[in-house]
Amino acid sequence: MKRLTVKKLDFTGIELDYSNLANELNELDWNAIDEAPWKAEYPYTPQAKFQIAYDQNGVYLHYDIDEEFVKGEFIRPNENIWEDSCVEFFVSFDGRKTYYNLEFNVLGTGLIGYGTAEKSSRNRLSAEEILTVDAISQIKTVNGRKNWKQILIIPFSLFGLTIADIEGKTLAANFYKCGDGLPNPHFLAWNNIENSKPNFHLPEFFGEIIF
């Protein structure tokens, strides 16, 4: 099982644009999203990595993606985000009994669900709740190479928590890169998954993040 330590930073007074935030995160380690559990069926593996930090108010996730096609079709919360160029963060606060799935496409459009691994138990958060997550994206094509980066600012209040509920805790989590509706679909994970078919909703395969 993979583990990482989430560093606390101070973002007080930092303007919320990509350049400023990326500079604040610059010294943090990058973590590869490079496990391809279903590579035999889905051989294409884009390059994907992330940084993670937190402050008094929430979690900061910084993704860096290189892929051959970039697709951003869905523009409303809770649409089929996973069919676009998509990054995902699943996290459990109660020892894997329940978890949140946060999925964002290259446009910063989000889908967030909550419940157990049983599909019938899961519910979507409202559009108003999802829009409390700030998403700052940057995309470029240089010499035919497509790269996009995204910083998500996820308030603790989204989960009904404060920093006192998080600091000093070890949480179960996993990080993903997918694109079900791209010309070459792919399903990558930070912590490996042992399952015959693509399925990110398996909390028994989450890794650990330590605040």
Give Cβ neighbours of residue 116 (< 8 Å, ≥ 6 apart): 97, 98, 122
Model pTM above 0.95? yes
pLDDT at position 67, please? Answer: 96
Q: Which segment of 11-20, 105-114, 162-171, 174-183 scores lowest on mean pLDDT?
A: 11-20
Give Cβ neighbours of residue 147 (< 8 Å, ≥ 6 apart): 64, 65, 66, 139, 140, 141
Mean pLDDT computed over every residue of the chain: 97
pLDDT at position 211, please? Answer: 97
Q: Which CATH class is domain 3-139+148-174+188-210?
A: mainly beta
pLDDT at position 2, please? Answer: 98
pLDDT at position 192, please? Answer: 98
pLDDT at position 119, please? Answer: 87
